[in-house]
């Protein structure tokens, strides 16, 4: 009996010591959840510096973009602490803030002067919801264009283009020129096409590609304050924009119905398309000779102005938020204090991340660091975003359902598709 008690006590002590060691090990670790793309790899490299300085291990866990929203909210809805911070999309702010999933960072932002040191537009779109700040801008991004300089500068192409369209072949100065150039380079018998567009409907790809066209034509997705969509979403400008996007789609490679950043970059690196719509975060792969044989002849430009003088780029990028259910919130706050330092933001930019720190973003060093950084800096001044309300996901999928068939198959008319979407969004936004 005494021997059994002694064995039981030793076993219990061993378990207790193990649990203590485990919990003390956990206190020295932070987990950040993000989508699986290059910036997440850059962030992992960056946070290794934090580990060197503080001894706290930081792991960036990733999941494919198509699953990112689903997996994040599955964990948040379950009040799980699998990750301490999340680099979430701007559209999630409403849902995450309303659901109490993010920690309010308003005091942190004001105390550390983030509202003064970071670009105001990035704070507005990545962090602000309902008058409070819920994240720190982490990865600035916008939708832009890459193009084949060698095709554009070929004398024969220039001559043929001028003969057909009456002006010089160059970086498009407006959206109509972009459509002309796409049409000009579409030659299926040569396996060449004008443009690679976003059309994927697993999440927000198609919506992002289309929305910047809508904004550029002077249209809008509704009044974000009053939630009015009738007369705005189905306005003549939006109809024209949707028709323009449909026309552009006819100049994409065959079967281009579910394309996002991977497919668009692939079309470009395989020499299929003259112009590639993509977020700037994916352009490092195009500037790298190892991944793009045409890197030396790849140019970049911001989304051109529309026919009525408006110029916008779809906002991309994310802010980093602290998860309410994290048991290491204090450590997460310390991490954010480190992250917002100017030297850290400079390092972030050097690694390839798109800083939102004003001083770093506007420096000549940043602007000259890559062939696309100037176009990126230009784009960040004209960014505009989708709805950030709690029901944004419903609205995204309704937009996909209503507009994708028109864009990819020409089913119905642009007006009919937009009118149907107005009815859907009215219902979803509770206007009915």
Partner 1 sequence: MAVLATLDPHSRAASRGWSDLTIRNAFILPTIAFLIVFNIFPLIYSLGFSFTAYRASLNRPAEFVGLQNYRELLSNPDIWNNFTVTAQYVILSVGGQMLVGFGLALLLNRKFPLKGLVTTLLLMPMMLSPAVVGLFWKLLYDPSWGPINYALGIGKFEWLSHPTNALFATALTDIWMWSPFVMLLALAGLSAVPQHLYEAAAIDRAGKLYTFFRITLPLISPLLLIALIFRTMEAFKTFDLPFVMSTANVQTVAIRLYQMAFQGWDTGRASALAYIVLIVVLAITNIYVKYLNKVKER
- 271 lies in the site for partner 1, by CB under 8 A: no
Output the smallest distance, CB 416 to partner 1, in A.
14
**Sequence-separated (6 or more) residues with CB below 8 Å from residue 149:** 297, 298, 299
Say if CB 112 and CB 339 are below 8 A apart: no
Q: Where does 323-404 show beta strands of DSSP type E?
A: 383-384
Q: Where does 290-428 show beta strands of DSSP type E?
A: 298-302, 313-322, 383-384
Burial annotation 369-383 (CB, 10 A radius, 16+ → b, else e): ebbbbbbbbbbbebb
Residues 57-76 that bind partner 1 (CB under 8 A): 69-70, 73-74, 76
Cβ distance to partner 1 smaller for residue 114 or 205? 205
Cross-strand partners of 320 = 87, 136
Nearest to 185, CA basis, from 225, 148, 217: 148
Tokens of 6: 């002694």
Output the smallest distance, CB 253 to partner 1, in A.
7
Say if CB 36 and CB 278 are below 8 A apart: no
If you count them, how many residues does the chain have? 432
Binding mask 241-270 for partner 1 (x = CB under 8 A): ------------xxxxxx------------
Cβ distance to partner 1 smaller for residue 201 or 345? 201
- 202 lies in the site for partner 1, by CB under 8 A: yes
Binding mask 374-393 for partner 1 (x = CB under 8 A): ----------------xx-x
Output the smallest distance, CB 186 to partner 1, in A.
13
Residue written as token pair 């719509």:
277
Output the smallest distance, CB 146 to partner 1, in A.
21
Binding mask 397-426 for partner 1 (x = CB under 8 A): x--xx--xx--xx-----------------
- 356 lies in the site for partner 1, by CB under 8 A: no
Residues that bind partner 1 (CB under 8 A): 69-70, 73-74, 76-77, 95, 98-101, 188, 191, 201-203, 253-258, 390-391, 393-394, 397, 400-401, 404-405, 408-409
């Amino acid at each position: 009996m005494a021997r059994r008690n002694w064995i039981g006590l030793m076993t219990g002590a061993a378990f207790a010591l193990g649990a203590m060691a485990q919990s003390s090990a956990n206190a020295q670790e932070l987990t950040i959840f993000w989508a699986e793309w290059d910036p997440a790899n850059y962030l992992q490299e960056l946070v290794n510096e934090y580990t060197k300085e503080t001894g706290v291990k930081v792991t960036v866990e990733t999941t494919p973009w198509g699953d990112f929203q689903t997996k994040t909210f599955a964990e948040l809805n379950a009040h799980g602490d699998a990750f301490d911070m999340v680099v979430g999309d701007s559209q999630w702010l409403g849902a995450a803030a309303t659901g109490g999933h993010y920690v309010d960072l308003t005091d942190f932002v004001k105390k550390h002067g983030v509202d003064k040191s970071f670009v105001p537009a990035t704070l507005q779109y990545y962090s602000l919801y309902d008058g409070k700040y819920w994240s720190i801008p982490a990865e600035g991004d916008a939708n832009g264009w890459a193009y084949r300089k060698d095709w554009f500068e070929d004398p024969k192409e220039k001559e043929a283009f001028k003969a057909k369209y009456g002006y010089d072949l160059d970086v498009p100065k407006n959206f109509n020129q972009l459509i002309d150039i796409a049409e000009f380079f579409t030659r299926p018998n040569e396996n060449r096409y004008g443009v690679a567009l976003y059309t994927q409907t697993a999440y927000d790809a198609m919506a992002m590609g289309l929305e910047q066209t809508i904004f550029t034509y002077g249209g809008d997705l509704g009044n974000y304050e009053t939630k009015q969509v009738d007369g705005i979403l189905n306005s003549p400008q939006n109809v024209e924009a949707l028709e323009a996007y449909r026309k552009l789609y006819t100049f994409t490679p065959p079967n281009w119905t579910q394309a996002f950043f991977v497919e668009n970059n692939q079309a470009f690196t395989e020499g299929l398309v003259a112009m590639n719509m993509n977020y700037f975060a994916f352009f490092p792969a195009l500037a790298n000779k190892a991944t793009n044989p045409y890197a030396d002849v790849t140019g970049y430009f911001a989304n051109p102005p529309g026919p009525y003088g408006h110029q916008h780029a779809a906002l991309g990028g994310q802010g980093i938020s602290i998860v309410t259910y994290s048991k290491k919130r204090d450590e997460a706050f310390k991490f954010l204090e480190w992250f917002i330092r100017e030297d850290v933001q400079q390092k972030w930019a050097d690694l390839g991340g798109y800083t939102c720190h004003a001083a770093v973003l506007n420096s000549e060093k940043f602007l000259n660091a890559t062939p696309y950084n100037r176009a990126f800096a230009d784009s960040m001044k004209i960014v505009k975003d989708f709805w950030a309300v709690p029901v944004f996901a419903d609205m995204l999928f309704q937009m996909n359902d209503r507009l994708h068939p028109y864009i990819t198959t020409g089913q119905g008319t642009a007006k009919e598709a937009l009118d149907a979407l107005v009815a859907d969004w009215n219902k979803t936004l509770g206007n009915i």
